[in-house]
Structure 1
Amino acid sequence: MGITSAWAITAHDDDVIAGLAPRVRPLIERQRELPETQCAWQAWCADPLPNHRSWGELPYGSARSEDVRAFLRLTSAIPLNELHCCDDCDFHLSDIWEAHDEGVPPYFAVFSKDYALSALFHAIGPRRAALLPGWCGDFLLTSEEVRRTLPAVEEALTFTPQERAAAQEQVWLDCLKDEEPVLDGPLRCWRQAAEAGLGLCGANVHIY
């Protein structure tokens, strides 16, 4: 049975961010500190993956095939899912998404049997990915943190025409014509939130 994932980035005022922090930040840090998480991250940084079109040709069980599997596990981890799909939880991320500040349109990437964050990280590589705050697409930032981290996010997600073409070649997602590309949406949210004096919540989850 397949899954449908969503990577959502929404803007909120600092009071909302402060209310989310006790529940959201510990889950992100717990995922970041897992030994298997750190091992997979370090392996990817030491030896980034080849063109994604070659992955299907890798012999099953080979070292490189296992590298791909480890990268996909790393970038499809969903520690915040317990705040989204828990039936008896009194707090749901979907409620927060719906209460986003209307001054900053949210970035919403929804895909069946795929993860926008995985495609983005493969496309930009570990050096740029390491510049992004939080952990693998999950973050909770105050307005001051958004302003402070904007230069690093701009460095990670700003491309020359040649760099963008190379990155786009490695984004395997099939977006609809009116959907915001994964190379554009996150930076647009950061810039608009910084200008508006708002914080940001990023969450990589399963819709179902």
Structure 2
Amino acid sequence: MSGMGVWVVGAVPDRGVGELLRVGVQGSPPVPSYGRVPGELAWWRSREPGSLFRASASSPGSWVAGENAFRLSVFFDSCHYDSAAVGELGDALMDQFPPEGEEGHFAAVARKASPFSALAHALGPDVTLRLPGWFGDFLLRAEEVRARLPEAEEALALTGARRREVVERIQQWMSALGDDPDHDAEDLLDGPLRVLRHAARTGQGAAGLVRWY
């Protein structure tokens, strides 16, 4: 896919989340009703993460995507709704996010690749499904942020060999499927968690949005 992949996570005033909920928006985007989702999840679980990419023979330090990597990328993209209502909700949420650069705001942007997809590949299916919402899209009240924070910390606050492994897998995705080999892979772990901790500490809600431009 061409274009720019974006994942934005921001703290949202709890009152603002409540207003959105009162006009009929659910607390998290619904799981798509595609019949193939369970099958694709089972297929993803059966793959060895290291089998999706191979080192480039012609360009040292670069990676080449195999057929399974492209299939996984298509699956991730198919898990997001693309409708006018979802777009309007996203715009309303982004209007309530703090300015870029503040503690309650995180944004990852990559050419030709989705930052959240890179993170999901790196973490694996079971850890990804423990993150809030559905494949990077979520809307949580303040009490839900506090309840889900421990799971997010377990998934993202990585150290040692596990962190190095996840960072390398993010870099593989960004290099082979995208055009961003120098993407800050560690920020994909630290940035969203920073926002969720900030929201929990300040009594705010939080939201995440996956988009293509």
**TM-score, normalising length: structure 1:** 0.79
2:156 matched residue in structure 1: 157
Deviation readout 1:20-68 (Å, 9 max, x if unpaired): 3434657x2142x32122321222123343255328474xxxxxx2x43
- The partner residue of 1:197 within 170, 189, 203 is 203
2:170 matched residue in structure 1: 171
1:31-50, aligned counterparts within 5 Å? 31=32, 33-50=33-50
The whole-number CA distance in structure 2 between the counterparts of 1:165 and 1:200 is: 28
Cα offset for 1:191?
Answer: 0.8
Shift of the 127–200 alpha-carbon distance from structure 1 to 2, 3 Å rule, reads same
Give the residue type in structure 1 aligned to 2:202: A
The whole-number CA distance in structure 2 between the counterparts of 1:23 and 1:140 is: 9
The whole-number CA distance in structure 1 between the counterparts of 2:35 and 2:196 is: 30
Cα offset for 1:118?
Answer: 1.0
Cα offset for 1:201?
Answer: 1.0
**Equivalent residue pairs, number:** 193
Cα offset for 1:124?
Answer: 1.3
Cα offset for 1:152?
Answer: 0.5
The whole-number CA distance in structure 1 between the counterparts of 2:140 and 2:154 is: 18
Deviation readout 1:146-192 (Å, 9 max, x if unpaired): 00000101111121221111111111233778897212111111111
Give the residue type in structure 2 aligned to 1:75: F
**TM-score, normalising length: structure 2:** 0.77
Kept in 2, the 8 Å contact 1:141–1:201? The answer is: yes
- Bigger shift: residues 13-22 or 44-53: 44-53
Structure 2: tracts of 5 or more residues without a match: 55-62, 175-179
- Bigger shift: residues 37-46 or 169-178: 169-178
Shift of the 52–188 alpha-carbon distance from structure 1 to 2, 3 Å rule, reads farther
Shift of the 119–194 alpha-carbon distance from structure 1 to 2, 3 Å rule, reads same
Q: Secondary structure at the match of 1:29?
A: coil
Kept in 2, the 8 Å contact 1:140–1:199? The answer is: yes
Kept in 2, the 8 Å contact 1:175–1:181? The answer is: no
RMSD: 2.8
Cα offset for 1:135?
Answer: 0.6
Shift of the 168–12 alpha-carbon distance from structure 1 to 2, 3 Å rule, reads same
Shift of the 164–51 alpha-carbon distance from structure 1 to 2, 3 Å rule, reads farther
Cα offset for 1:97?
Answer: 1.3
Q: Secondary structure at the match of 2:5?
A: strand
Kept in 2, the 8 Å contact 1:193–1:199? The answer is: yes
Kept in 1, the 8 Å contact 2:118–2:170? The answer is: yes
1:7-156, aligned counterparts within 5 Å? 7-21=7-21, 22-23=24-25, 28-31=29-32, 33-54=33-54, 56=64, 58=66, 65=67, 67-77=68-78, 78-79=80-81, 82-83=84-85, 91=88, 93-101=90-98, 104-156=103-155
Q: Secondary structure at the match of 1:153?
A: helix
The whole-number CA distance in structure 2 between the counterparts of 1:53 and 1:43 is: 16
The whole-number CA distance in structure 2 between the counterparts of 1:38 and 1:191 is: 31
Cα offset for 1:119?
Answer: 0.7
Give me the identity figure in percent: 28
The whole-number CA distance in structure 1 between the counterparts of 2:124 and 2:76 is: 12
Q: Secondary structure at the match of 1:149?
A: helix
